[in-house]
Amino acid sequence: MKCFNCGSTLSGSDFCSNCGVRVTVYKKIIRMSNTFYNMGLMKAQNRDLSGAAESLERSLRLNKRNTKARNLLGLVYYEMGETVQALSEWVISQNYDSTNNLANSYIKLIQSNGNRLEEMKRNIKNFNTALKMAKRGADDVAIIQLKKVISQNPRMVKGRQLLALLLMKTGEYERARRELRKALSVDRCNTLSLRYMKEVEALLQREKKNPEKKQKDPIEERQALSGDAVIVPPHAYREPTNGAVTILNMVIGLLLGALAMYFLVTPVRVQNEVDKNNDLVRTYNQRIAIKNSSISELERQVASLTEEKEKLQKQADQNTSQGKNTVSNYENLITALSAYADQKYDNAADALGQISEDVAMDSQVFDTVYKNLKASLKDTMAKNYFETGEKAYDAGKYEDAIAAYKRCLETDANYADAMYKMGCAYYASGSRDESTEIFKQVVDTFPGTQAASEAQQFVPDYKGGSQNEE
Partner 1 sequence: MINFDEEIKKFHPSLEIDDTEDAIYNSSVTDMTDIMLELMEEMKEN
Backbone φ and ψ of 22, nearest 5°: -75, 125
Rounded to whole angstroms, what are the CA distances from 81 to 9, 21, 41?
Answer: 38, 43, 18
Residue 4 in the binding site for partner 1 (CB under 8 A): yes
Q: How far, rounded to the nearest angstrom, does the alpha carbon of residue 98 sit from its chain's CA centroid?
A: 62
Binding residue for partner 1, selected from 135, 208, 235, 238, defined by CB under 8 A: 135
How is 264-312 classified by DSSP, letter by letter? IIHHHHHHHHHHHHHHHHHHHHHHHHHHHHHHHHHHHHHHHHHHHHHHH
Query: C-beta of 134: minimal distance to partner 1 in Å?
Result: 6
Query: C-beta of 199: minimal distance to partner 1 in Å?
Result: 5
Alpha helices in 170-190 (DSSP H): 173-186
76-84, 270-278, 310-318, 425-433 -> range binding partner 1 (CB under 8 A): 76-84
Residue 26 in the binding site for partner 1 (CB under 8 A): yes
Query: C-beta of 41: minimal distance to partner 1 in Å?
Result: 19
Residue 134 in the binding site for partner 1 (CB under 8 A): yes
Binding residue for partner 1, selected from 16, 44, 56, 120, defined by CB under 8 A: 120
Backbone φ and ψ of 238, nearest 5°: -125, 135
Residue 29 in the binding site for partner 1 (CB under 8 A): yes
How is 366-402 classified by DSSP, letter by letter? HHHHHHHHHHHTHHHHHHHHHHHHHHHHHTT-HHHHH
Amino acid occupying residue 273: E
User: Which uninterrupted H or E stretch holds 42?
Assistant: helix 24-45
Binding residue for partner 1, selected from 72, 87, 103, 138, defined by CB under 8 A: 87
Residue 92 in the binding site for partner 1 (CB under 8 A): yes
Residue 61 in the binding site for partner 1 (CB under 8 A): yes
39-47, 164-172, 265-273, 437-445 -> range binding partner 1 (CB under 8 A): 164-172
Q: Which of helix, strand or coil describes residue 2?
A: strand
Query: C-beta of 85: minimal distance to partner 1 in Å?
Result: 7
58-66, 327-335, 355-363, 457-465 -> range binding partner 1 (CB under 8 A): 58-66
Residue 285, by phi and psi: left (phi above 0), alpha (psi -120 to 50) or beta? Answer: alpha
113-121, 183-191, 229-237, 306-314 -> range binding partner 1 (CB under 8 A): 113-121
Residues near 401 by Cβ (< 8 Å), separated by ≥ 6? 389, 390, 392, 393, 421, 422, 425
Asked if 158 and 164 touch (Cβ cutoff 8 Å), the reply is: no
Please compute Rg for the chain using Cα positions: 72
Query: C-beta of 195: minimal distance to partner 1 in Å?
Result: 8
Q: How far, rounded to the nearest angstrom, does the alpha carbon of residue 304 sit from its chain's CA centroid?
A: 46
Q: Which long-range CB contacts under 8 A does 256-259 form with residues at least 24 apart?
A: none
Residue 125 in the binding site for partner 1 (CB under 8 A): yes
26-34, 328-336, 399-407, 442-450 -> range binding partner 1 (CB under 8 A): 26-34
Binding residue for partner 1, selected from 38, 47, 64, 449, defined by CB under 8 A: 64
Q: Rounded to an integer, what distance in angstroms lies between the CA atom of residue 70 and that of residue 102?
A: 10
Provide the CB-side half-sphere exposure for 120 (13 A, CA). Answer: 17
Q: Which of residues 182-221 bind partner 1 (CB under 8 A)?
A: 192, 196, 199, 218-220
132-140, 271-279, 398-406, 424-432 -> range binding partner 1 (CB under 8 A): 132-140
Q: Which is nearer to partner 1, 152 or 436 (CB)?
A: 152
Asked if 416 and 446 touch (Cβ cutoff 8 Å), the reply is: yes
Q: Which is nearer to partner 1, 225 or 295 (CB)?
A: 225
Binding residue for partner 1, selected from 158, 181, 182, 378, defined by CB under 8 A: 158
Residue 82 in the binding site for partner 1 (CB under 8 A): yes
Residue 63 in the binding site for partner 1 (CB under 8 A): yes
Residue 79 in the binding site for partner 1 (CB under 8 A): no
State the residues that interact with partner 1 by CB under 8 A.
4, 25-26, 29, 33, 60-65, 82-85, 87-88, 91-92, 117, 120-121, 124-125, 127-128, 131-132, 134-135, 158, 161-162, 165, 168-169, 192, 196, 199, 218-220
